[in-house]
Structure 1
Amino acid sequence: MNIRERIEEQEYIYLAVAASKSKTAVRQREEEPCPFRTAFQRDRDRIIHSKAFRRLKHKTQVYFSPGDHYRMRMTHSLEVSQISRTIARGLRLNEDLIEAIALGHDVGHTPFGHAGEYALRDLIGHYNHNEQSLRVVEYLEKNGKGLNLTAAVKDGILNHTGENKPFTLEGSIVRKGDRIAYLCHDYDDGIRAGMIKKTDLPARVEKCLGTHPSDMITVMVADMLEASADLTEIRLSPAIEAAMNELREFMFEKIYHSAELEPDRKKARYVIQKLYEYFVAKPSALPDEYLQRRDRWGLETTVTDYIAGLTDVYAIHLFEELFIPANWQIR
């Protein structure tokens, strides 16, 4: 029995009956198993080593060109992983599956956060970052070969948001953990940015969750562990769910849809629009690896893939290079 097989057997001893087991994981293309890593561990490693994951360190979470201590997409993904793994361990579910989903859930995000996502949606009619995240791992990484992840990881990535729920309990944990992470940490960054104060919180949120980000996370994680103990569904208690939803409404009003950030959102949408129009009109300017995909996916999809993959910094660099006269650029 090799190391992987021993770990797979241990999962049946230690993990809950309802937990996803690595031994039964399925890939679209069969592969020789790794002698020392389970299928979900292997998926996690493939995501961490992907180009799309590395680019997350330069992709906006909420604030454009923030200081050193603000979240970016990569730090957000790490925080989702940490919160979700804590829940998984408490419920004896599969932490390796959780980690793979959490680290991969946002690899399809555009530059400039949701402003970029909405800009592409306006341009092409349909664009959702969760669907693009699945597309990245399934088709775009490794020069078009994809990462050949397991079905459970791909399902968790696709359904971390949107109408459909994941088919694993681990995927449902990431779905909840993502919301806990972005609400609490964007609240923390909002205080740092001076956009909100702790005293601005609605009374029910303050009473049920507290006013400090780490306290809020602790309350929601503890509540989820208790409410989900029967492992029939991953859920919060009605009172904490209501407080979370009120916190979400507060964050949309004060931060995500705030008038203060609207000028930056408009500029971001403009950059995305002009880049998209430019490359559709002049596809020969695309990098060679994208030109090679044009016959398979069509021009508009290929341009969308390219722009969605850009980091904030590189999108701005391209815009300057293409639309700003050289002697006007600040060096």
Structure 2
Amino acid sequence: MKVRERIEELEYKILAPFAAKSRDAVRERDESPCDFRTAFQRDRDRIIHSKSFRRLKHKTQVYISPGDHYRMRMTHSLEVAQISRTIARSLMLNEDLTEAIALGHDVGHTPFGHSGEYALKDLIGCYSHNEQSLRVVEHLERNGQGLNLTAEVRDGILNHTGNSKPLTLEGNIVRFGDRIAYLCHDYDDGIRAGMLRPSDLPPNVASTLGTNPSRMITVMVSDIIIKSTGKKEILMSDPVKNAMDQLREFMFEKIYHSPELEPDRKKARYVISKLYEYFMKNPDSLPQEFLDREKRWGLQTTTVDYVAGLTDLYAIKIFEKLFIPSTWAQSK
């Protein structure tokens, strides 16, 4: 019996009856199974080794061009994976599937975080990072061939946010894990940036979740595990869910929509808009691999794919090259 087969057999023995099983995973294109890794383990590895995942280390989470200790998209994704794996293991659900979804959920994010996302949405009328993440893994990676991930991972990536919930419990864990991670860690970064103090938190948030980011995560993760054990859905108690929702409202007011960060958000949207407009008017300036895709996807989609895939630093570099006189750029 191969290593993979032993793992697949073990999943049926130790995982909850309603956990996703690797043996049942389905891919859009058939391929020979690995001797050692399950389908979900392979998906995780493909995401980690992808170019789009590597680029997350230079994509904004909240603060544009931050210092060394602030979160970027990659650190956020790793933190979502850690939180989600803890929940999955405690509930005897499929940890490998959970990790793959968590690591891949933001690979379609634009430069400059949600500011870039909103800029593209304004330009083309419809853009969301979860849909772009799915597009990245399905069509853009591996020179346009995609990663051929399992349906379970693709579903979890697409539905980690938005109105539709994932089909698997593992995907629903990541949906919670993503929110827990960004709220607590953006709060932590807000304190580091001097924009927040623990005493600023709403009283119910402080009394229910605490004021320390680590404690907040522990309270919410523990609550999910306790409420969801033995259930066929991922749940959170009303008091903790209400506190989490209040924390989210607080973070939108104080950080995500804060006047202090608005100048940088405007600059980010401007950079994205100018790059999009330039490449739409000058498509021959796109890299050859994107020009090769234009016939299949059209100029607008190809331009969006390129601009959305840029890192913050590279987007700024291209902007300076195209729109800033060279003597100005060199004198910085």
Q: Please tell me the TM-score bracket, short chain as reference.
A: over 0.9
What's the CA shift for 1:167? 0.1
**Partner residue, 2:182:** 182
Q: Match for 1:192: what amino acid?
A: R
**Partner residue, 1:204:** 204
Structure 2: gaps of 5 or more residues: none
Counterparts of 1:184-263 in structure 2 under 5 Å?
184-263=184-263
What is the alpha-carbon distance in structure 2 between the residues aligned to residue 28 and residue 251 of structure 1? 39
**Partner residue, 2:41:** 41
What's the CA shift for 1:235? 1.3
Counterparts of 1:1-331 in structure 2 under 5 Å?
1-329=1-329, 330=331
What is the alpha-carbon distance in structure 1 between the residues aligned to residue 251 and residue 143 of structure 2? 38
SS of residue paired to 2:19: coil
SS of residue paired to 1:293: helix
SS of residue paired to 2:195: coil
What is the alpha-carbon distance in structure 1 between the residues aligned to residue 203 and residue 229 of structure 2? 29
SS of residue paired to 1:303: helix
What is the alpha-carbon distance in structure 2 between the residues aligned to residue 157 and residue 185 of structure 1? 21
What is the alpha-carbon distance in structure 1 between the residues aligned to residue 231 and residue 139 of structure 2? 33
What is the alpha-carbon distance in structure 2 between the residues aligned to residue 83 and residue 149 of structure 1? 22
What is the alpha-carbon distance in structure 2 between the residues aligned to residue 81 and residue 228 of structure 1? 18
Show structure 1 runs of 4+ deviating over 4 A.
Answer: none
What is the alpha-carbon distance in structure 2 between the residues aligned to residue 285 and residue 20 of structure 1? 45
Q: Match for 1:10: what amino acid?
A: L
What is the alpha-carbon distance in structure 1 between the residues aligned to residue 171 and residue 221 of structure 2? 16
What's the CA shift for 1:231? 2.2
Q: Match for 2:205: what amino acid?
A: V
Q: Match for 2:307: what amino acid?
A: I
SS of residue paired to 1:191: helix
What's the CA shift for 1:251? 0.2
Superposed CA offset, 1:70-93 (max 9, x none): 000000000000000000000000
Superposed CA offset, 1:222-262 (max 9, x none): 00001111322101000000000000000000000000000
Q: Match for 1:178: what amino acid?
A: D
SS of residue paired to 1:119: helix
What is the alpha-carbon distance in structure 1 between the residues aligned to residue 59 and residue 29 of structure 2? 31
TM-score (norm 2): 0.99
TM-score (norm 1): 1.00
The alignment of Structure 1 onto Structure 2 pairs a total of residues equal to 331
What is the alpha-carbon distance in structure 1 between the residues aligned to residue 269 and residue 159 of structure 2? 26
- % same residue: 73
What is the alpha-carbon distance in structure 2 between the residues aligned to residue 324 and residue 189 of structure 1? 31
What's the CA shift for 1:328? 1.1
What is the alpha-carbon distance in structure 1 between the residues aligned to residue 8 and residue 232 of structure 2? 23
Question: C-alpha root-mean-square deviation of aligned residues, in Å?
Answer: 0.5
What is the alpha-carbon distance in structure 1 between the residues aligned to residue 126 and residue 161 of structure 2? 15
What is the alpha-carbon distance in structure 1 between the residues aligned to residue 202 and residue 37 of structure 2? 46
What is the alpha-carbon distance in structure 1 between the residues aligned to residue 235 and residue 194 of structure 2? 33
Q: Match for 2:77: what amino acid?
A: S
Q: Match for 1:165: what amino acid?
A: K
Q: Match for 2:164: what amino acid?
A: N
Q: Match for 1:269: what amino acid?
A: R
What is the alpha-carbon distance in structure 1 between the residues aligned to residue 126 and residue 94 of structure 2? 33
Superposed CA offset, 1:100-143 (max 9, x none): 00000000000000000000000000000000000000000000
What is the alpha-carbon distance in structure 2 between the residues aligned to residue 140 and residue 69 of structure 1? 31
Q: Match for 1:122: what amino acid?
A: D
SS of residue paired to 2:179: helix
Q: Match for 2:18: what amino acid?
A: A
Structure 1: gaps of 5 or more residues: none
